[in-house]
Amino acid sequence: MTDERRPAEGRRDEAGRLGAGADPDVWEVFRREKDGDPMRHAGNVRAPDRELAMHYAREFYSRRNESVRLWVVPRTEISDLSDPDLLQPPLDRSFKKPGGYVMRDKLEIAKRRAGEGAE
Amino acid sequence: MTTESRRPTRQLIEPDLPAFDASALDPELRAAIAELLLTMADDEFVIGFRDSEWTGIAPMLEEDVAFSSLAQDEIGHARLFYELRGALTGEDPDRLAFHRQPSEYRHARLLDAPRQGWAFTITRRWLYDTADSIRLAALANASFAPLAEVVAKVRREERYHLMHLDAWLERLGTHHGRPRGQVLTALKQLAAVALTVFAPLVGEQVLVDAGVLSAPMSQLADRWRSDATARLCALNLRPIPAGTPPTDGRDRPQPDESFLWLWKEFTSVARLEEGAQW
């Protein structure tokens, strides 16, 4: 319900928490759609306190039975990491990706071997 | 909100209304249950429409969605009660809801007043929901199983309504200045009228004797008064005054103007075209 870009750069505390850089009335909501699913970010609600934040999360993210569990977190408590030196360094890092390593033939051989073992 | 795709909004896993044989019931008891159901359905129907008037104008966007959702829940409960009555009497639930004359509606007089301000709406709704929860609890072990089953489902939803209304009453009632003053004014105006929820029913004794209703309405009213007063006093608000439920608390030979207006609103589509389907 709010502008995602609002947290101001450089106003985080030592733990990386958004703290005063975030709107204190905004609560981030995570939801589990069905048992066994991971918790996924659903969106956010604006509320003056935790109790109403829970109520509004319930209304926005499960009034039509969309969720089996909700987590409600004050945005001020979120630790934020967006430093490009840590996340997007400018050097070539393609060697960290699994691409270029052809698995297909090896997989075929492994499967055949496993099949023989089972007979 | 996210734009991720939603699942269909209506997922009827099982019908809300259990199947049963109405002819197995004693006719006197059947009539008494039907009357009880009509009062409950009309209560939920009218408060549902009253509170849905806040859609678009509630104090904040989140509350707008929440309060409209609560109002929709009440319409859903009304539907269940009208359907259950229909299964007993053969009446069409839609006709019960939309095709009666204003004087035939049996809701408690508490629900006649217009919505007015937010504090008034919250106070009225809190009074109604706490009274309704006492009534539902008295039906939880009803010997007529389909009613007990429906009531059990409704109570699970009303639990959240009570949490939400409690949260709002506390915030307004303890916020010194205008909100608290408005809650106090609303309580003064409404607390005694709230007893109309427990107005005695035709056939009430039959319901109690048959184990449908656990106690007469006058006893439920005392139960409610003591519960509600404890909560109100904890917030330093005024207690519910002594008194017995008025016998004519659901009668409206001459419906008041406010309800007539609401009736015209909620029947407007049905009156446009007889038998319309939507």
Domain regions of chain B by residue span:
24-271
What does the pLDDT read at residue B6?
A: 53
What does the pLDDT read at residue B7?
A: 53
CA B14, B9, B77, B104 torsion-angle sign: negative
What does the pLDDT read at residue A96?
A: 78
What does the pLDDT read at residue A47?
A: 97
Q: Which of A100-104, B10-14, B249-253 has the lowest mean pLDDT?
A: B10-14
- pLDDT tens-digit profile of B162-179? 999 999 999 999 998 899
Give the span between the Cα atoms of A70 and A42, in whole angstroms: 9
Cβ of B11 and A65 within 8 Å? yes
pLDDT of residue B1 exceeding 50, the answer is no
Among B13, B62, B162, most A C-beta atoms within 10 A, so best to mutate, is: B62
**CATH topology classification for B24-271:** Ferritin (1.20.1260)
Chain A contact set for B164 (CB, 8 A): 55
Mark which residues 57-96 of B lie under 8 Å from A by CB. 60-63, 65-66, 69
| Mean model confidence pLDDT for chain B | 93
Give the nearest partner residue to B164 out of A42, A45, A55, using CB atoms. Answer: A55
What is the model's pTM?
A: 0.86
Domain regions of chain A by residue span:
19-82
- pLDDT tens-digit profile of A11-40? 566 678 888 888 999 999 999 999 999 999
Average pLDDT for B25-33: 96
Chain A touched by B9 (CB under 8 Å): yes
> Cα dist. B184→B60, B143, B189, B239 in Å?
23, 40, 9, 10
Question: Integer distance in angstroms from the first to the last C-alpha of chain A?
Answer: 60
Give the span between the Cα atoms of B246 and B217, in whole angstroms: 11
Chain A touched by B13 (CB under 8 Å): no
Tokens 């029947």, residue located: B267
CA distance B89 to chain A (A): 32
pLDDT of residue A6 exceeding 50, the answer is no
What does the pLDDT read at residue B9?
A: 52
What does the pLDDT read at residue B187?
A: 98
Helix (H, G, I), strand (E, B) or coil at B36: helix
Better-scored residue on pLDDT, B63 or A98: B63
Which CATH code is given to the segment(s) A19-82?
3.10.20.520
Helical H segments across A6-62, by residue range: 50-62
> Cα dist. B69→A59, B161, B162 in Å?
7, 10, 14
Average pLDDT for B77-89: 96
Give the nearest partner residue to B61 out of A1, A42, A52, using CB atoms. Answer: A1
Cβ of A56 and B164 within 8 Å? no
Give B16's pLDDT tier (boundaries 50, 70, 90).
Answer: confident
- Give ipTM to 2 decimals: 0.87
Size of chain A, expressed as the number of residues it contains = 119
Quick one: closest CA in B to A3, which residue? B1
What does the pLDDT read at residue A104?
A: 83
